[in-house]
Structure 1
Amino acid sequence: MGTDRRPGGQGRAVRTTALLGCAVVVLAGCGSMPVTGDVKAVDASQPGDSQVQVYAVAPRDGAPPSEIVDGFLESMTSDDPAFATTRKYLSTDARRTWQPGGSTTVLAQAPNRSGPLLHDEDNRATRDRETTYTLTGEKVATVDAQSSYQPLAPTAYSQTLHLVLEQVAEGKKEWRIDVVPDGLVLGQSDFKRLYRSVNKYYYATGGTNSRSTLVADPVYVRNRTDPVTRMDTATQTVRTLLAGPTNWLRPVVDSRFPTGTALRKGVTALAPDDQNVLRVPLNQKAESAGRSACRMMAAQVLFTLRDLTSARVERVELEGGEGRLCALNADDASEFSADRGSEGADSQYFINEKGQVERILGAIDGPVTPEPVTGPLGAGTVPMGSVGVARDEERAAAVSSSGQYLYVSSVETEGELADPLVTSNAKKAADRLSPPSWDGRGDLWVADRDPAGPRLLRLAGGKGEPQEVRVPGLDGARIEELRLSADGVRIALLLTKDGRTTLNIGRVERRGSSVAPEISVEDLRQAAPQLADVSAISWSGRSRLVVVGKEEGGVQQVRYVQADGSTSASGALPGVNQVQSIAAADDEQLPLMAETVGDGIVKLSPGDNWQTVLKEGKALVYPG
């Protein structure tokens, strides 16, 4: 961690790879176990894979203060049960009061520590019985007590640890930490090794058709057994699900689990049986739910756990004190999905060189032959510059090539182009209407970027008078582009201010009645603060975006970003030249599409490289 750390020193945590851990971790699936080789200590700041395990080591007798601090910091990166060994670095009182599970501070690198200056006269008189060390670093994120991740623009981190000589036995004193902040402090590499992002699911609120639509709420849980609760990853995840949605998402979702519902006491492991049936034992509070609500509860568990277990969960059974409450099969859970759209694979839509809307039908495994959409948008009576297609693929909205007019038309039947539903009065094309976007409720959204009167507009059902949506957190920034999530409760905005364009996620709150709705975008938070300039975005699945942007002084990159703003090593995508727009589908198995300078429209299928699809075409989108 610090520059003066000694590899292999006494009183330090040691880490080993999964191969060396096979004798302990039987489920690792190792084919053979080596009988020779060293177990060596490495700095916690060393990047490593998730198979590396760290074993906490208690402080040695006579360890100096610097070694106590180093050992404590490294022990925090271990899977130490209940942090029992980690607490041995603390004084008697601190050992009892320290709360490691409250929150986690994530630094760009493992914390550096600096001790007292030898020439400091104020410390000279007392340094033989007490001393203070300072931890410093660059803070890039926090994880709160709800396991909710919050990315931060890199900021300076500084915290102190106070140590005293404490009597540990008759006539024997040892250095121990007596003032320590609650929570964990981890370097980014250790955080990614120890924790994983999971989605728990709740039901959207606001609107007559929303209460059966599940919304992903991303949180972070331990990769292996949690040191505090002793729960495996699946059980931790269900525990956070039952605790309710995170504070940021809470105003727009709710849970069907009755208040107070929790796992039955003593449950620390959940796994499907050999029939892929997962049984979840709950306390008596769950028994107050009716059968319909219980079925919705089971859907929350099924969606939450389907990506966590090694075997596919085919059925969830919820159990109360008196036996089974209800069950739900995986095949019956699709009715709760937010990405319900048209039958079959989504098509891709784009604008050709004549300003007409064309589409590529279904998945594009073979040769591509685009065709004009049915109706006036395909006929090209008015040249278009951008397009957005409803998720049922029955209608499309298009903005004229001048950026001034927004039209909505059927893409299934012939007819005349209706009058525009929105008109921008801005003088410059770049200051007029943004590309449109549809949410999963069938509402249409567009931004008017007119400097004289910027507006975010929503057209209920994609028709009628546009309603202006309040965005109280804009703070003078201009909306360049917007994308609505399939669940309709989150909006991704590209905001430009002071020459920088950043990605922000807002919460869509719906109040009022169906006759007089009140819509606002609340609590904007920056989702990719490491990117100094973001040029294109698209939702990709339930809680993930694909983002095109640059770090300060860097080159353009394409990567995945979770809705909470977190990223992973697997989020980086193969490079592609000069991307102007990006398109991803609700179905993550469909190829990623991009509009580029020089190569035209290209695609990236899972496990493949970028390939050219069309040399001509722009503004390509999937439904949404």
Structure 2
Amino acid sequence: MGADREGSGRRTPTRAVTYAVCGVVLLGGCASMPDNGDLRGVESTPRQDPQVRVFAMPPAEDAAPSVIVQGFLEALTSNDPQYETARKYLTGDAAKTWRPERSTTVLEGGAGTEADHSASRADADDYSYSVMLTGTRVATVDAQQSYSPAAGEYREPVHLSRDPKSRQWRIDRLPQGVVMGKSDFQRTYMSVNKYYFASDTAPKAGAGTSEQPAVVADPVYVRRLVDPLTQAVRSLISGPTSLLGPVVRSSFPTGTELADDDPLTPDDRNTLKVPLNAKAAEAGADKCDEMAAQLLFTLQNITPAVDEVELTSGNKRLCSLGEDRAEAVATRGSAQRPDYLYFVDSNHRLVRIAAGSTATHPEAVPGALGEGAKALRSVAVSRDERSAAGIGLDSKTLYAASLVPGSSLGDPLLVSEGRTEEDRLAPPSWDAQGDLWVADRDPENPRLLFFEKGAGEPVQVRLPGLDGRVQSVRVAADGVRIALVVEKKGERSLLIGRIERDGRTGEQPAVTVVGLRSATPELEEVTAMSWAGDSRLVVVGRERGGVQQIGYVQVDGSTPEASVPAALTGVKEIAATEDERLPLVAYSEDLIVRLPAGMQWQKVTKGTAPVYPG
């Protein structure tokens, strides 16, 4: 539990603050809680520099019960690794049974307090005091460190008792976990991608995919200034979160743990030595390399100071892996740089421009789709850039063709029976398997379909629990996550789910999308979206009563620490790639425009439907 400090008020001596870079920084504006009276919020200061280190102060002698609660809340926003100072505000028994690691509840403006007059009063002769913590939920972080958006009222009781001998007030009953305001959470925690291997994405012959297994980013939140590197390693070794558990695997043998409690620190050669217990020694050479790859990918999104990892067990060196070998062990979406950006030109043909270039004159792609054999509305290009799919100008038909000179178009893979263009086929998407996905928006028969290897008969994807109609689809580079824009009662939201595949080799697979959850709970209309990182998407949308905006969201529904793209009006489509170095591209006001890093939107040429491979 903790306070979200925004605004000003009477300061209480509950903590001292020191910095990490160049001096002493004082956090002002911590309001005291009332000894009695009506509801009053625990006020907060504006969001602080993430590098500011906050240290809690122990309870003052003869502090009033309200000040004890206030001090405890403040102590939980500090950088105390084991919450030792926070426990000093608890009775001995409460300190033993309280489990701060169980969960973190994030509130919109911090915890308010409401004195329980019917339960007790805190005067000189009383030994009991009760207060209710209140607020509006924003999110929760569970024991696996997984973030989930939340809503609704927060009300949890806290009880204090007075020691008959020392006459000091202490908290003896409190909710498990911690609670803090949104700005304190953003200052105190950081998002980290753990990496696991996709368990159901073995490459298929002829699909043009890599022989290496794909890694999947599993975002968790760790405390920013409490040795985040070691926290992330422990979390990685402990296994994936429940959201991804059914579709990923870890190469760490069951029971593997760090061999000691010492912080992990890279040496002057940017090598991190990771000491593991005896269980890790059970892994063979190939598995050890995979363990090292998981570690390296995870650590490199925390710090640039790790170029190599070395795994040991006891006095035995198990293996080591550097950047040069890691990409040979596994493929990662953010490390795959596409060759081209694709879009539909004014002649309704599929054209392309070199990815990341400043070119403004596209070339037609080789084959039928670039020759204008069929006028196109939207397109998708496979991740190996050898095949493409196109939706006809009336959104009624789906075609696929190879991107080689002389390729033919053939019969359509799919024909929608929708009466209007808006009720027919959505833009398609290719996954890492070389499979093609498309949504048929026909109100009479709405379906999400996929074509194995981009050909053959469509397989209808099961969507248990889906409430609404799929308007657009994008499959992640990892092959196990899918983003869907779903319409319900006039509102369009972005949902993220995991792909589960069943079926033996040679049989038509059964495909299900499960675990769907909102990534944009604050938006009522999502216009366009695209994957923009291993666990990040760029979204064009509008809040209730607001104007259209472009922003980034994490797959877990949190907001990543990334600069907001420059404003652009009238965006109908947007394209990004997991390689975050490449510019965003959009279709706006009948033009293709791009946003190079650190610059404003630039005109490219006339055209529609921009896409990177995927």
Distance 1:487 1:570, change over 3 A: closer
State the shift of 1:138 in Å: 1.1
Cα distance in 1, alignment partners of residues 7 and 611 from structure 2: 52
Moved over 6 A (4+): 2-6, 124-127
Secondary structure of the structure 2 residue equivalent to 1:239? helix
Distance 1:340 1:462, change over 3 A: farther
Cα distance in 2, alignment partners of residues 38 and 297 from structure 1: 43
- Counterpart contact for 1:507–1:522, Cα < 8 Å: yes
| TM, length-normalised to structure 1 | 0.90
Q: Does 2:510 correspond to 1:518?
A: yes
Q: Does 2:205 correspond to 1:215?
A: no
Aligned AA for 2:613?
P
Kindly provide the CA deviation profile for residues 549-586 of structure 1, in whole angstroms up to 9, marking residues without a partner as x: 11121111111111111103535222111111110012
Kindly provide the CA deviation profile for residues 226-271 of structure 1, in whole angstroms up to 9, marking residues without a partner as x: xxxxxx111110100000000010000000111001111233x223
Cα distance in 1, alignment partners of residues 547 and 289 from structure 2: 49
Greater mean alpha carbon deviation, residues 244-253 or residues 269-278: 269-278
Query: Of the candidates 180, 188, 206, which is equivalent to residue 186 of structure 1?
Result: 180
Q: Does 2:545 correspond to 1:553?
A: yes
Aligned twin of 1:623: 613
Kindly provide the CA deviation profile for residues 504-529 of structure 1, in whole angstroms up to 9, marking residues without a partner as x: 00100011212222110011011111
Aligned AA for 1:360?
I
Aligned AA for 2:217?
A
Secondary structure of the structure 1 residue equivalent to 2:472? strand
Aligned twin of 1:165: 162
Cα distance in 2, alignment partners of residues 586 and 174 from structure 1: 56
Aligned twin of 2:200: 206
Count of paired positions? 590
Report the aligned-residue RMSD: 2.3
Query: Of the candidates 444, 448, 452, which is equivalent to residue 440 of structure 2?
Result: 448
Greater mean alpha carbon deviation, residues 5-14 or residues 202-211: 5-14
Aligned twin of 2:320: 327
Greater mean alpha carbon deviation, residues 454-463 or residues 269-278: 269-278
Distance 1:259 1:488, change over 3 A: same
Kindly provide the CA deviation profile for residues 115-174 of structure 1, in whole angstroms up to 9, marking residues without a partner as x: 134xx5x6469993322111111101100111111112x32111111122223xx4x312
Query: Of the candidates 133, 148, 167, which is equivalent to residue 131 of structure 2?
Result: 133
Q: Does 2:481 correspond to 1:490?
A: yes
Aligned twin of 2:229: 234
State the shift of 1:440 in Å: 1.1
Cα distance in 1, alignment partners of residues 515 and 26 from structure 2: 51
Aligned twin of 2:242: 247
Cα distance in 1, alignment partners of residues 596 and 363 from structure 2: 22
Kindly provide the CA deviation profile for residues 449-484 of structure 1, in whole angstroms up to 9, marking residues without a partner as x: 111111111111111111111010212x00000000
Distance 1:387 1:287, change over 3 A: same
Distance 1:316 1:374, change over 3 A: same
Aligned AA for 2:240?
P
Aligned twin of 2:207: none
Distance 1:4 1:431, change over 3 A: closer
- Counterpart contact for 2:191–2:560, Cα < 8 Å: no
Kindly provide the CA deviation profile for residues 291-330 of structure 1, in whole angstroms up to 9, marking residues without a partner as x: 111111111111111122242x322211111321011121
Cα distance in 1, alignment partners of residues 383 and 81 from structure 2: 48
State the shift of 1:91 in Å: 2.0
Greater mean alpha carbon deviation, residues 76-85 or residues 579-588: 76-85
- Counterpart contact for 2:199–2:249, Cα < 8 Å: yes
Distance 1:125 1:396, change over 3 A: closer
Aligned AA for 2:267?
D
Aligned AA for 1:238?
V
- Counterpart contact for 1:339–1:440, Cα < 8 Å: no
Kindly provide the CA deviation profile for residues 208-236 of structure 1, in whole angstroms up to 9, marking residues without a partner as x: 328721111111111112xxxxxx11111
Q: Does 2:535 correspond to 1:533?
A: no
Cα distance in 2, alignment partners of residues 140 and 124 from structure 1: 32
Distance 1:549 1:166, change over 3 A: same
Distance 1:160 1:5, change over 3 A: farther
Q: Does 2:73 correspond to 1:82?
A: no
Cα distance in 1, alignment partners of residues 175 and 229 from structure 2: 29
Distance 1:404 1:6, change over 3 A: closer
Distance 1:375 1:185, change over 3 A: same
State the shift of 1:11 in Å: 4.2
Cα distance in 1, alignment partners of residues 437 and 5 from structure 2: 53
Cα distance in 1, alignment partners of residues 562 and 379 from structure 2: 31
Aligned twin of 1:355: 348
Cα distance in 1, alignment partners of residues 4 and 610 from structure 2: 49
Distance 1:296 1:81, change over 3 A: closer
- Counterpart contact for 2:194–2:218, Cα < 8 Å: yes
Query: Of the candidates 572, 597, 606, which is equivalent to residue 564 of structure 2?
Result: 572
Aligned twin of 2:97: 97
Matches within 5 A, 1:311-322: 311=305, 313-322=306-315
Kindly provide the CA deviation profile for residues 12-35 of structure 1, in whole angstroms up to 9, marking residues without a partner as x: 22435x2xxxxxx5xx4x4xx57x
State the shift of 1:201 in Å: 0.7
State the shift of 1:362 in Å: 3.0
Distance 1:146 1:248, change over 3 A: same
Aligned AA for 1:149?
Y
Distance 1:4 1:531, change over 3 A: closer
- Counterpart contact for 2:196–2:249, Cα < 8 Å: yes
Aligned AA for 1:408?
A
Aligned AA for 1:214?
V
Query: Of the candidates 503, 519, 532, which is equivalent to residue 494 of structure 2?
Result: 503
Cα distance in 2, alignment partners of residues 362 and 380 from structure 1: 22
Cα distance in 2, alignment partners of residues 341 and 286 from structure 1: 28
Kindly provide the CA deviation profile for residues 363-399 of structure 1, in whole angstroms up to 9, marking residues without a partner as x: 223x411011111111212211000000111110000
Aligned AA for 1:592?
L
Distance 1:414 1:6, change over 3 A: closer
Secondary structure of the structure 2 residue equivalent to 1:85? helix
Distance 1:571 1:524, change over 3 A: farther
- Counterpart contact for 1:239–1:263, Cα < 8 Å: yes
Cα distance in 1, alignment partners of residues 93 and 154 from structure 2: 26
Cα distance in 2, alignment partners of residues 5 and 175 from structure 1: 28
Kindly provide the CA deviation profile for residues 562-616 of structure 1, in whole angstroms up to 9, marking residues without a partner as x: 1111103535222111111110012110111111126x211111222221112x2
Cα distance in 1, alignment partners of residues 315 and 50 from structure 2: 40
| TM, length-normalised to structure 2 | 0.92
- Counterpart contact for 2:345–2:351, Cα < 8 Å: yes
Secondary structure of the structure 1 residue equivalent to 2:286? helix
State the shift of 1:67 in Å: 1.2
State the shift of 1:346 in Å: 2.7
Aligned twin of 1:143: 141
Cα distance in 1, alignment partners of residues 5 and 184 from structure 2: 18
Cα distance in 2, alignment partners of residues 15 and 179 from structure 1: 28
State the shift of 1:345 in Å: 4.2
Distance 1:14 1:354, change over 3 A: same
Distance 1:4 1:297, change over 3 A: closer
Cα distance in 1, alignment partners of residues 411 and 354 from structure 2: 28
- Counterpart contact for 2:4–2:181, Cα < 8 Å: no
Distance 1:135 1:325, change over 3 A: same
Matches within 5 A, 1:272-351: 272-311=266-305, 313-335=306-328, 336-339=330-333, 345-351=338-344
Query: Of the candidates 259, 265, 272, which is equivalent to residue 260 of structure 2?
Result: 265
Aligned AA for 2:456?
G
Aligned AA for 1:483?
R
Aligned AA for 1:212?
P
Kindly provide the CA deviation profile for residues 76-113 of structure 1, in whole angstroms up to 9, marking residues without a partner as x: 11112421221122122212211111110011111111
Aligned AA for 1:606?
A
